[in-house]
Amino acid sequence: METINIEQGHPQVPIAMQRLNNGLCRARATGKPFAKIIHGYGSSGNGGAIKSALAAELRRYCLRRVIVNFCPGEDFGPFSESARAMSAAHPEISRDCDWGRSNDGITVVMFR
């Protein structure tokens, strides 16, 4: 699975979203069906601005049919409908080290 780190250096949201766009383009070019986005959880303990902006941006990517689906790390495991759908399409995803760990600092996307 490709990894896209948009958190490194604790950038402001616009820079993180630029990193997201560039990272998704690179990850799609590899032909792998998934990418893991590392965005962190924020220092407030309530989820950070990057994580919130990321969710909104990924919904737009779904509408534009760039990605099939995404699953926040806290739901990335066997008890989430979206994670189970990803695993049904590509069983190897359930072997990822973050599967079932409730990692709030990541999000996994599935490409078309």
**CATH classification of the domain holding 63:** 3.30.1370.110
- 5: its two tokens: 């780190």
For 12-43, the pLDDT digits (tens) are 999 999 999 999 999 999 999 999 999 998 66
- Give the confidence band of 45 by pLDDT, cuts at 50, 70, 90: low
Is the predicted pLDDT of residue 74 greater than 60, yes or no?
yes
**In which domain, by residue range, is 43 found?**
2-111
Domains in the chain, number? 1
Please report the pLDDT score of residue 112 as a whole number: 85
Give the bridge partners for 79, in sequence order. none
- 33: its two tokens: 């069906």
